């Protein structure tokens, strides 16, 4: 049964006041499904599309179940990127302050010493695996007091090659803990994480009713040539209602495309992993305020980007697989707003993009653009997916 208000969840008065101050009165679907069990201290595994409100689904249990002045850290949130670490820390901090809890974020690209000092004083720690492993190796952090563990955007964390660090970190976290795992997809290697690090979790799987995820966004596939590709992109940018996020494969490609768009009179910034943290934050700030209306980014740099005003996502370079597509296009159509996902397809890319479209159930949109649907190389069924799960004490289909 869906929870109609946060007050029904028996949250503390300070947290309820903090929610009301931010005009949060009723939980989103993912929050309604996860919060009762998470607040009770149970392990939870949730398939959670981007923009579904999942951060609050683990932030509130952390704040309610962590005591100020206790172990430091008592709660650990692992995230794949610096941007997501900052976003989650900001979200958590607004509620943690209501219970006098301290929140710290540790991530690469900035000096270690200051981060380590803040981390030692915080009950709640948000961390990227690489920087946390660095602190642990230097004996600047310890995880023996962790009682709540969150793996946020677990699929992307694994896609980015963080499994070795995640394994090493989790071996240092007490086994007697609550674990919450959130991921846009739950198959493959994510299911291995679930089996290894959760204890009979409550599972929330499938499409979230009322959520405007990638399935509700308008999807278009546009055939282009190398000669017309930039012109088509400029036309798409001209049609966008507000902010547009453009994805490319490489860091060099991001800079090169941003310069080309600038020459066409587009207000644009680039975002990629070779930029300093300060430069990345400035680019994001300009994009968020609308000082630039187009952000050209690589997948890693754009992970965790959470802006309601993004009306268009353009795959200037198509994603490698359907999961990459879900993560990219999930940056638009958030919080019930409309969105458009556009993928530019060179002739030599048609077969692979066709397979991605097929995995997403988007063959009709692909055909309508005048391109040929390629034969699938992989049969992927719900039986295959469920077969990777093993047993569970409860499962919620939504």
**What's the number of domains the chain is made of?**
2
**Predicted local distance difference test score (pLDDT) of residue 51:** 66
Range of the domain at 14: 6-210
- 378 lies in some domain: no
Residue 137, domain member (yes or no): yes
Can you read off the two tokens belonging to residue 351? 């077969």
Which among 210, 228, 256 is the end of a domain? 210
- Say if residue 43 is in the same domain as residue 168: yes
Q: Among the three residues 169, 192, 210, which one is the final residue of a domain in this structure?
A: 210
Mean of pLDDT over the chain: 86
If asked whether residues 24 and 87 sit together in one domain, one would say yes
Residues 305 and 348 in one domain: yes
Over residues 193-204, mean pLDDT:
92
pLDDT band at 388 (very low <50, low <70, confident <90, very high): very low
Asked if residue 363 and residue 243 are part of one domain, the reply reads: yes
Letter string b/e over residues 138-150, b meaning 16 or more CB atoms within 10 A of that residue's CB: eebbebeebbbbb
| pLDDT 10s digits, 171-188 | 999 999 999 999 988 888
Give the number of other Cβ atoms within 10 Å of residue 230's Cβ: 17
**Domain shared by 146 and 172, yes or no:** yes
Residue pLDDT, tens place only, 92-125? 998 999 999 999 999 998 899 999 999 999 999 9
Q: Is the predicted pLDDT of residue 61 greater than 90, yes or no?
A: yes
pLDDT in tens, 219-229: 999 999 999 99
Same domain, 102 and 222: no
Q: What average pLDDT does this structure show over 51-61?
A: 89
In a domain, 390, yes or no: no
Per-residue pLDDT at 382: 33
Name the pLDDT band for 2 (thresholds 50, 70, 90).
low
pLDDT reported for residue 138: 95
Residues 183 and 226 in one domain: no
- Residue 335 covered by a domain: yes
Q: Tokens representing 24?
A: 């949060």
State how far the Cα of 213 lies from the Cα of 51, in Å rounded to an integer.
Answer: 7
pLDDT for position 368: 87
* CATH code of the domain containing 242: 3.40.50.300
294 and 205 share a domain?
no
Predicted confidence (pLDDT) per residue in 217-269, tens digit: 889 999 999 999 999 999 999 988 789 999 999 999 999 999 999 999 999 99
In a domain, 343, yes or no: yes
SS3 244: strand
**Domain annotation covers residue 377:** no
Residue 295 forms part of a structural domain: yes
Q: Is residue 397 part of a domain?
A: no
Task: Name the least confident of 27-31, 195-199, 355-359, 380-384.
Answer: 380-384
**C-alpha angle 310-77-8 in degrees, rounded to nearest 5:** 80
The Cα-based distances of 149 to 39, 44, 64, 248 in angstroms read: 13, 11, 14, 33
pLDDT per residue over 62-91, tens digit each?
999 999 998 899 999 999 988 889 889 999
* Cα atoms found within 13 Å of the Cα of residue 89, Cβ hemisphere only: 23
The residues, ordered by sequence, that sit 6+ positions from 352 with a Cβ below 8 Å of its Cβ are 318, 374
Is pTM, for the whole model, over 0.85?
A: no
pLDDT band at 387 (very low <50, low <70, confident <90, very high): very low
Of all residues in the chain, the percent with pLDDT exceeding 90 is 57
* 25 and 142 in a common domain: yes
Does residue 163 sit in the same domain as residue 270? Answer: no
Regarding whether 321 and 232 lie in a shared domain, the answer is yes
> With 60 as the cut, is the pLDDT of residue 193 above it?
yes
Shared domain check, 99 and 247:
no
Q: Which of 167, 188, 210 is the last residue of a domain?
A: 210
DSSP-assigned states of every residue in 188-243: THHHHHHHHH-SS-EEEESPPTT---GGGSEEEEEE--TTTHHHHHHHHHHH-SSE
Contacts of 341 (CB under 8 A, 6+ apart): 214, 217, 218, 219, 220, 312, 313, 314, 315, 325, 328, 329, 332
């Amino acid at each position: 049964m869906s929870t109609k208000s946060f007050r029904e969840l028996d949250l503390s008065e300070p947290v309820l006041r903090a929610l009301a101050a931010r005009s949060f009165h009723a939980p989103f679907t993912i929050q309604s499904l996860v919060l009762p069990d998470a607040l009770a201290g149970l392990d939870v595994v949730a398939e959670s599309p981007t923009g579904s409100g999942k951060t609050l689904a683990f932030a509130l249990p952390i704040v309610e179940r962590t005591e100020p002045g206790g172990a430091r850290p008592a709660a650990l949130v692992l995230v794949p990127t610096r941007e997501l670490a900052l976003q989650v820390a900001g979200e958590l901090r607004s509620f943690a302050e209501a219970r006098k809890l301290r929140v710290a974020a540790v991530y690469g690209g900035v000096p270690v010493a200051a981060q380590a000092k803040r981390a030692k004083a915080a009950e709640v720690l948000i961390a990227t695996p690489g920087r946390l492993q660095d602190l642990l190796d230097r004996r600047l952090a310890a995880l023996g007091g962790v009682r709540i563990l969150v793996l946020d955007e677990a699929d992307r964390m694994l896609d980015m090659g963080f499994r070795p660090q995640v394994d090493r970190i989790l071996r240092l976290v007490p086994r007697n803990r609550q674990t919450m795992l959130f991921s846009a997809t739950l198959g493959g290697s994510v299911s291995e994480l679930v089996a290894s690090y959760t204890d009979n979790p409550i599972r929330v799987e499938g499409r979230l009713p009322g959520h405007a995820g990638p399935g509700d966004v308008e999807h278009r596939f546009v055939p282009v040539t190398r000669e017309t590709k930039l012109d088509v992109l400029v036309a798409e940018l001209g049609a966008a209602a507000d902010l547009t996020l453009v994805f490319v494969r490489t860091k060099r490609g991001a800079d090169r495309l941003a310069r080309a768009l600038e020459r066409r009179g587009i207000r644009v910034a680039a975002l990629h992993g070779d930029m300093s943290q300060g430069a990345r934050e400035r680019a994001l700030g300009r994009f968020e305020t609308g000082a630039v209306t187009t952000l050209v980014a690589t997948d890693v740099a754009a992970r965790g980007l959470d802006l309601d005003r993004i009306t268009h996502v353009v795959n200037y370079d198509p994603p490698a697989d359907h999961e990459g597509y879900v993560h990219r296009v999930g940056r638009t159509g958030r919080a019930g707003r409309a969105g458009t996902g556009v993928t530019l397809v060179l002739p030599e890319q048609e077969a692979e993009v066709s397979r991605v479209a097929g995995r997403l159930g988007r063959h009709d949109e692909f055909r309508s653009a005048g391109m040929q649907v390629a034969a699938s190389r992989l049969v992927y069924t719900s039986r295959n997916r469920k077969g990777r799960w093993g047993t569970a004490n409860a499962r919620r289909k939504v």
